[in-house]
Structures are given as C-alpha cells and as structure tokens.
C-alpha cells in the first residue's frame, strides 16, 4: 500500500495535533518574548521579463531562429530571484539568494539554482570576511550583474564579466574586503574544481583580486552599480584579475557619473579585458564604451534615459584573428531606480569570420522589492 494512502485517515488527527502544538508554541513564545528575540531577516524578490524579435539570430535572448526561417519572436521570463538576508549578531550575517535560469530553450533553463550562500563576517569598514558562494573580485560588470547594470544586455559582447564561474558569475570561496578612504580592496581564493575555467588541472585554486579608487563620492560595501541615476557623483577606476595554474584574466574599468544642475545626469563607463586562456581555451582581448543620459523632467511617474554602448572583442584564432563588434541602444523609462524600470533595446553583432550581422529588438521589464 502507498504510504501516502495509508496515512490518509491520520490527516485530521495530524492536523489537529499540529494546530494544538502551534498554538502552544505561540503561547510559549509570547510568554518569554521579553527574554527571546529572533534575528532580523529580510526577504526580497527580483524579476526580469522581456518581449523580443531576433533577425537572423538571437544575440541575448533565450531562443534560436528555426532552420529555414529568417527570424523568431518570443516572450521570456529571463530571470526571477529570491533574496534572503539575516543577522546572527551585529557582525555575523548570512545571505541566501536563488536564481531561476529563464524560460528559454537552452540546457540550463527552467531550473532554480543557488546563486549566493554567504557567511558574512563584517566587523568594520576596513575588515570584512565573506565565505561561501558569491561574486569573486572581478570587473565592475560582474560585480553589478544584470539587475544593477545600466543597460539591458550587459554581457552580450563577451567582454564584460568574462571570468570563469560556477553559477551566475559566482564562485565558491573565501574573500577579504575593506574600504580605506578612497580605496576599496577585495582579494580572495576560490575552488578551482567547480569553476568552468579553461585550465586542464582543476585541482588548482583560483586567486582573485580587485582594487578600486573612488575620486569623488564613495561606493561602500562589496558590490557595485552600473549607475546611480544621478544620486552620486562618481569618478571610479578599478583594476581586477584572476589566476589559476599560471593562466590569467585581467581587466581595467572606469565609471564616471555626474548630476548636472537642472540638466539631468550623464554616465560614461568603459572597460578593457584580456583573457590569457583562463576563461577560454583561446586567448582574447576586448573593450567597450558606454554613455547614458537621464533627462531631468519627470514624465508621469518616471524619467526617460537614452543609452548607447559599443564593444569590440578580438579572439586570437589562427590563421586570422576573429573580431566581434557589438552595438546596443536603449530607450529606458526609470520609475524607481533598479526597483522599477522598463526599456526598449536594440542589438547588432558583427562577426567578421562568420560574416554574420544579426539584429535583435526587445522590450524589457524589471521589478524588485
């Protein structure tokens, strides 16, 4: 007999016993509320969804153009995240975040995976230790991710966030970070066997480091933003690198953002990345530049933003290097910073050796709470 069926008659008794136990527990907790306090826990949710149209091939959307067709259209649940943060003490904290990998047709889609699982020992601005799974020291783009990027397709060019990872840009490891005035230092060691690096001997550890200088306003904490929509005046320069078994990936990135009195806010971001066969079996280098402008006038419940981005990546293939050139244009409506925004995006990507130049259009929505 199915054990679930065997217990069917027990269900009312179990439910009654559970209700009585719960009531007694609530009464007990109420009686000792002056002596016991539960640790504070916050729960949040993030969502990204899109409508897209791909001409010749999809560049960033989770779909492919069927054989014999010239285009494909679709609606995707790109990502949904659950955020949980709690404090054990004022200095000892925990973070647990999950990521739904999207509704497309790829092999990693329609799954929920552990994105972050962090034990955080945060003593002061200068001395903090993180352990578990999290974003390792790397380029700014990896440390702001898709939910805090300025554009809608931050990783379409293969330049930003071109580092090995185990899941959603994360690695399993241990890191120190601290803020020293205008300098932020982040260094760590990570498990080489779990990451998808191009190194043959995965028993070797991955060493990672990043140093950031903030010449204007300070960015506190471990993570970064791709923009602050004018809430900060930023002039930041970062140098990052990772190494495993003598193979390296290095990057230098910069962000300038300035709020203009009664004239909105302008943002300029740039990065150069060099991969010496750590992330890919073939070495490469690339760069991108991004410029954005937020209009000062409130229209309805938000402000409009225009954005343009261009990147070029050179892949050291033989006998001729391959070049990948990516152009992105956004028209965005910012309702409440990264908590509520919607935007139209256009992508074009030219591959010189493959002699292809697909286009992609899309409308994206992001909500967080």
Confidence at residue 67, expressed as pLDDT on a 0 to 100 scale: 87
Per-residue confidence (pLDDT) for residue 40, from 0 to 100: 86
- pLDDT range class, residue 164, cuts 50, 70, 90: very high
pLDDT recorded at residue 81: 96
Percent of the chain topping pLDDT 90: 82
Using CA atoms, how far residue 192 sits from 118, 175, 288, 325, 332, in Å, is 18, 15, 28, 31, 39
Structural tokens at position 145: 């991710």
Is 241 within 8 Å of 251 (Cβ atoms)? yes
Instruction: Determine if residue 328 is left, alpha or beta; phi over 0 gives left, psi from -120 to 50 gives alpha, anything else beta.
Output: beta
Mean pLDDT value of segment 129-155 = 98
Average pLDDT, the chain: 90
In the predicted model, what is the mean pLDDT of residues 188-195? 95
Q: What is the pLDDT of residues 230-280, one digit of tens each?
A: 999 999 999 999 999 999 999 999 999 999 988 999 999 999 999 999 999
Which residue from 326, 330, 324, 327 is spatially nearest to 362, judged by alpha carbons? 330
Q: Are 60 and 153 in contact (CB under 8 A)?
A: yes
pLDDT above 90 for 286 = yes
What is the model's pLDDT at position 104?
A: 53
Confidence of residue 26 (pLDDT cuts 50, 70, 90): very low
* Percentage of the residues of the chain whose pLDDT score is greater than 70: 88
Long-range residue pairs from 100-104, CB within 8 A, at least 24 positions apart, any chain:
102/62, 102/76, 102/77, 102/78, 103/62, 103/76, 103/77, 103/78, 104/61, 104/62, 104/63, 104/76
Band of the pLDDT at 6, cuts 50, 70, 90?
very low
In degrees and rounded to multiples of 5, residue 211 shows phi and psi of -130, 130
Q: What is the pLDDT of residue 220?
A: 95
Point out which residues pair with 234 in neighbouring strands. 257
The pTM score is 0.87
**Confidence category of residue 5, pLDDT binned at 50, 70, 90:** very low
pLDDT at 10: 42
């Amino acid at each position: 007999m199915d054990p679930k069926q065997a217990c069917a008659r027990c269900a009312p008794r179990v439910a009654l016993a559970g209700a009585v136990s719960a009531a007694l527990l609530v009464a007990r907790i109420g009686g000792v509320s002056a002596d016991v306090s539960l640790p504070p826990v916050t729960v949040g949710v993030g969502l990204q969804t899109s409508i897209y149209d791909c001409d010749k091939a999809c560049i960033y959307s989770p779909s492919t153009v069927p054989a014999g067709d010239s285009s494909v259209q679709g609606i995707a649940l790109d990502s949904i995240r659950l955020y949980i943060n709690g404090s054990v003490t004022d200095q000892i904290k925990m973070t647990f975040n999950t990521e739904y990998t999207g509704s497309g047709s790829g092999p990693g889609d329609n799954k929920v995976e552990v994105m972050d699982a962090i034990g955080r020992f945060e003593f002061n601005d200068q001395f903090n230790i993180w352990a578990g799974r999290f974003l390792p020291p790397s380029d700014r783009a990896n440390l702001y991710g898709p939910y805090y990027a300025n554009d809608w397709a931050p990783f379409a060019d293969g330049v930003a966030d071109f580092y090995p990872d185990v899941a959603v840009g994360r690695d399993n490891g241990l890191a120190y970070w601290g803020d020293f005035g205008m300098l932020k230092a982040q260094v760590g060691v990570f498990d080489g066997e779990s990451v998808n690096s191009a190194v043959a001997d995965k028993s070797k550890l991955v060493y990672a480091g990043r140093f950031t200088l903030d010449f204007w306003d300070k960015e506190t904490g471990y993570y970064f933003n791709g923009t602050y929509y004018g809430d900060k005046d930023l002039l930041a320069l970062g140098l990052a690198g990772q190494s495993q078994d003598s193979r390296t990936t290095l990057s230098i990135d910069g962000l300038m953002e300035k709020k203009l009195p009664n004239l909105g806010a302008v943002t300029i971001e740039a990065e150069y990345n060099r991969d010496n066969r750590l992330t890919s079996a073939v070495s490469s280098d690339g760069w991108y530049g991004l410029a954005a402008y937020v209009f000062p006038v409130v229209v309805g419940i938000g402000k409009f933003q225009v954005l343009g981005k261009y990147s070029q990546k050179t892949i050291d293939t033989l006998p001729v290097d391959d070049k990948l050139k990516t152009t992105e244009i956004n028209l965005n409506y910012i309702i409440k910073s990264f908590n509520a925004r919607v935007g139209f995006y256009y992508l074009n990507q030219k591959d010189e050796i493959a002699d292809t130049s697909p286009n992609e259009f899309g409308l994206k929505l992001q909500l967080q709470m």
